[in-house]
Structure 1
C-alpha cells in the first residue's frame, strides 16, 4: 500500500514519497527551478514552443514565489505566442503585467498581449472584436510605457487596428445606405468621422454623409460634409463626387459652422 503525504514545504525542499516496500523510504527530489527554467529555454531555442511553455508553467507551479517563477511567466507568454496559442499567451502576459507592473519586462508583456490580439484580426467582413482589443492593448502600452522600445511599433499597429475598425463601420454604413436606411447609415459614417478621423476611410465617410443627408433633404448638412471634404482633401475623388452630387440640385459645398459635423471636425483637429 502506498501513501502520498502532502506537506507544505519551503522553497528548495523536496517532495517525499513514503513506501512500505521492504520497510524503506523512497525519496523523490523536486526538480530545482533553475533546472526547469533552463530546460524550457532549450526547448524554446529548438522551436518546441508548446513543450517550452509547459516547462515554464511548471516552474511557476512548483516554485511560485521565486525569481525563476517571474522569469518563467514571461517566457511562457513568449513561448505560447510563438506557438500561436494566443489565448494562453494573453493569459500569461496579463498575469505578468498584474503581478510585476514595474519590472523591466512589463512593457514586453503588454506588447505580447497586443500582438496576440493583432495576430488574430480577421478580414473586414467579420466581427472586429479582436481589432478593438488589439487597439485597446496598444493604447495601454503607449500610455503605461511610452518610452519603451515597443512604442513606435505600437503606434503603427494601433493605426492599422483603428483602420480596420473604421473599415467595418464603413461596410455596415454602405449597406444601410444601399437599403435606403439613411439615419442608420449616417450613424455609422458619423462614428468614422468622430472616432477614426486619422484613418484612410474618413474621406469616403464624408462623401457618404453628403449622399445620405442629401437623400434626406438635409441640404445644409450635405453641403457641410462636402465643404469639409473639399477643404481638407481638395484633390480627392470623393470630393469630386460630392461636388457633382450637390451640383445636380444647384448647390455647392458650404460649411455650416453650427453643424455637429463642423463642431466635431474642429474639435478633433484642434481648430476650435
Structure 2
C-alpha cells in the first residue's frame, strides 16, 4: 500500500477535522427540529445566563417559530424581548413586544412588555460613542425618547400598581430633561441665526411642558435675551420678574 507523505497526512487530517466540526444549515436545521421545546428553551436560558444574548435570540426565535402555541410560548416571547433588548436589536424587540401585547392583552406580564418597550426606545436614543468621547449632541432627533416617554406614560396609566411603575416614573423625568435640553439647543441655534421669535417660542415651550426640569432657568434667560433683541419690553420685563423670583443668582439680573 502506498504511504501518504507527511504533509498529505496533515492535509487529510485537517479535511476530516473540518468536515467533522462544520455542518451545513440544513444539518443544523435537523438538529434543531429533533430537539424538544423544553430542551431548546433550557439551551436558550443557559446562553442568556452567560450573557450570550445573540445566540439566545437565535435559539428563542427558532423555538418561537416551531412552537408558537406551546405551553412555553408566552415565556419564550418574554425572554426573546429581553434578549433582543440586551443585544441591541431594537426593531426586533419592538416588533416582538407589539405582537405579544396585541395577542395577550390580559396577560399578567403585559406591564413588563410595555416597560421593556420604553426601555428599548430609550436605549436606542443613546449614542455610546458620543457619550464615551464627551460629545454633547442635545440637538439630535429625540423621537425615540418621545416614544419611550409615551410607553412609560401608558404603563403608569394602565398599570399604576405595577412593580415597574416607580422606575418608569423616574425615567419619564429623565426623558423630560432630555427633551427640554433639546428645545434649549434648538433655541440657541435660532439665536445664532438671529431668529429671535422662533428662539423665544422654544424657551416658552420649555416653561409650558417641562417646568419640572433643570432647564427652566436657561429657557427664561433665552426669552429675556430674545425679547430684548426684538424690543418687546413688556414681555421682557414679565419674564425678568419670573427669573428674579426663581433664580436670583442669574447673570441676566443686573
User: Could you say which TM-score interval applies, normalised by the shorter chain?
Assistant: 0.7 to 0.9
Q: Is the 8 A contact 1:59 1:68 kept in 2?
A: no
- What is the aligned partner in structure 2 of residue 48 from structure 1? 52
Instruction: Verify: 1:81 aligned to 2:94, yes or no.
Output: no
Instruction: After the TM superposition, list the runs of 4 or more consecutive aligned residues in structure 1 that deviate by more than 6 angstroms.
Output: none
1:66 aligns with 2:66: no
Tell me the residue number matched to 2:248.
Answer: 235
The offset of 1:78, in angstroms, is 0.8
2:149 is matched with which residue? 135
Retained in 2: the 8 A contact 1:174–1:185? Answer: yes
Structure 2 Cα separation of the partners of residues 29 and 192 of structure 1? 56
Alpha-carbon offset, residue 76 of structure 1 = 0.4
Query: Shift in Å at residue 205 of structure 1?
Result: 0.6
How far apart, CA to CA, are the structure 2 residues paired with 1:102 and 1:177? 50
Find 1:93's aligned residue among 97, 112, 115: 97
**CA–CA distance in 1 between the matches of 2:249 and 2:217?**
8
Determine the C-alpha separation between the residues in 2 that align with 1:234 and 1:60. Answer: 56
The answer to which structure has the higher helix fraction is 2
Give me the whole-angstrom Cα distance separating, in 1, the residues matched to 2:80 and 2:125. Answer: 22
Count matched residues.
Answer: 213
Matched with 2:39 is 35
Deviation at 1:236, TM superposition (A): 4.0
* 2:206 is the alignment partner of 1:192: yes
By percentage of residues, which structure has more strand? 1
Backbone CA RMSD of aligned residues: 1.9
Equivalent in the alignment of 1:111: 115
Distance 1:151 1:162 in 2: 16
* Ranges in structure 1 where 5+ consecutive residues have no aligned partner: 1-27, 245-272
Give the distance between the partners of 2:249 and 2:114, measured in 1 at CA.
38
In the other structure, the counterpart of 1:152 is 166
Q: Is the 8 A contact 1:54 1:76 kept in 2?
A: no
Q: C-alpha separation between the residues in 1 aligned to 2:247 and 2:53?
A: 52
d(CA) in 2 for partners of 1:129, 1:106: 24
Q: Report the Cα distance in structure 1 between the residues aligned to 2:249 and 2:145, rounded to whole angstroms.
A: 28
Local SS of the residue matching 1:227: helix
Superposed displacement of residue 29, structure 1? 6.8
**In the alignment, structure 1 residue 225 sits paired with structure 2 residue 239:** yes
Report the 3-state secondary structure (helix = DSSP H, G, I; strand = E; otherwise coil) of the residue aligned with 1:119: helix
1:30 positional shift: 5.4
Q: Please give the alpha-carbon distance, in whole angstroms, between the structure 2 residues aligned to 1:153 and 1:188.
A: 29
Instruction: Tell me how far 1:42 sits from its aligned partner.
Output: 1.9
Separation of aligned partners in 2, 1:112 and 1:141:
10
Report deviation, 1:188. Answer: 1.2
Aligned to 1:181: 195
Q: Contact (CA 8 Å) 1:60, 1:70: kept in 2 or not?
A: no
